[in-house]
């Protein structure tokens, strides 16, 4: 079971990489400034991290019966980013449809934003060999979007382009709308991270991990 799960992690990494490559060339083919700023998106950056970590996690699963504590923590952090990005993308697509704004969603976007996050939640809950995730990942989860957001606003003023509308002063009613949107996004990041930690503690799949009502294993608090 553990060996098969290791190979599934490597397959997931390959699917993610293929989707990233397709999305890159699809964006470049559109001849738009958004396509030329492919690596500026939080979704793209977080999925690159996801693919790299899935390779490491797959190799670990092929060699060890259980994930080490650092890997569980790293997976929780990266999954928090990719799942939240998927939720945000779904909201953007929904809002565009409500306002009658056409938006093209290639298969690679479907895979990156919805298919992979859904699969990783299932794998997170039921995958063998996972320990309980530590609550201390929450500030780490939030640190990345904060740093990314500050850099994105600074860069946007230089290049005249922003990956998301709420960063663009030309598309919002004022700084207050940007602050509210960013605070809401951070709250979602925190909720997703907290949900992943809680799920990992309700359903521990590693024999040496913490179980509900027991003392946490070293490195899992």
> Are the beta carbons of 165 and 172 closer than 8 angstroms?
yes
Residue 214's pLDDT is 38
Rounded Cα–Cα distance for residues 44 and 152 (Å): 14
Tokens of 170: 């030309």
Residue 143's pLDDT is 97
Q: Which residue has the tokens 């991990």?
A: 209
> Are the beta carbons of 34 and 109 closer than 8 angstroms?
no
Higher pLDDT, residue 96 or 90: 90
pLDDT mean over 175-204: 94
pLDDT at residue 19 is higher than 70: yes
Residue 198 binned pLDDT confidence (cut-offs 50, 70, 90): very high
Report how far apart, in Å, the C-alpha atoms of 124 and of each of 46, 67, 109, 195, 201 are.
17, 12, 22, 11, 11
Residue 29 binned pLDDT confidence (cut-offs 50, 70, 90): confident
170 backbone dihedrals φ, ψ, rounded to 5°: -80, -15
Residue 209's pLDDT is 41
pLDDT at residue 70 is higher than 70: yes
Q: What confidence tens digit (pLDDT) does each residue in 115-169 have?
A: 999 999 999 999 999 999 999 999 999 999 999 999 999 999 999 999 888 899 9
pLDDT mean over 193-213: 76
Residue 84's pLDDT is 95
Rounded Cα–Cα distance for residues 217 and 83 (Å): 26
Rounded Cα–Cα distance for residues 24 and 31 (Å): 12
Residue 218's pLDDT is 36
Residue 99's pLDDT is 58
pLDDT > 90 in the chain, percent: 68
Rounded Cα–Cα distance for residues 79 and 12 (Å): 13
Query: Considering just the CA atoms, what is the radius of gyration of the chain in Å?
Result: 18
Tokens of 180: 């509210």
pLDDT mean over 70-92: 93
Rounded Cα–Cα distance for residues 105 and 86 (Å): 13
Cβ of 66: how many Cβ atoms within 10 Å? Answer: 19
pTM for the full predicted model: 0.86
Q: What confidence tens digit (pLDDT) does each residue in 33-50 have?
A: 667 788 999 999 999 999
Calculate the average pLDDT of the chain: 87
Alpha carbon of residue 129 to chain centroid: 21
Residue 102, judged by CB atoms within 10 A of its CB (0-12, 13-18, 19+), counts as: exposed
Cβ of 86: how many Cβ atoms within 10 Å? Answer: 23
């Amino acid at each position: 079971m553990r060996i098969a799960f290791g190979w599934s992690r490597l397959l997931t990494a390959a699917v993610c990489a293929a989707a990233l490559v397709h999305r890159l060339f699809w964006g470049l083919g559109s001849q738009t400034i958004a396509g030329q700023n492919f690596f500026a998106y939080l979704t793209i950056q977080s999925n690159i991290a996801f693919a790299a970590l899935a390779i490491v996690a797959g190799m670990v699963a092929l060699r060890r019966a259980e994930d080490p504590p650092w890997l569980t923590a790293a997976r929780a952090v990266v999954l928090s980013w990719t799942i939240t990005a998927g939720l945000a993308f779904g909201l953007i697509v929904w809002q565009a449809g409500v306002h009658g704004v056409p938006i093209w969603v290639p298969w690679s976007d479907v895979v990156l934003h919805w298919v992979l996050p859904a699969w990783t939640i299932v794998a997170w809950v039921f995958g063998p060999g996972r320990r309980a995730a530590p609550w201390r990942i929450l500030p780490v989860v939030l640190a990345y979007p904060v740093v990314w957001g500050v850099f994105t606003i600074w860069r946007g003023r230089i290049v005249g382009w922003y990956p998301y509308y709420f960063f663009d002063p030309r598309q919002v009613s004022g700084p207050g709308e940007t602050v509210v949107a960013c605070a809401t996004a951070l709250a979602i990041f925190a909720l997703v991270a907290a949900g992943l930690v809680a799920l990992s503690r309700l359903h521990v799949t590693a024999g040496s991990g913490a179980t509900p009502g027991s003392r946490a294993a070293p490195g899992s608090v």
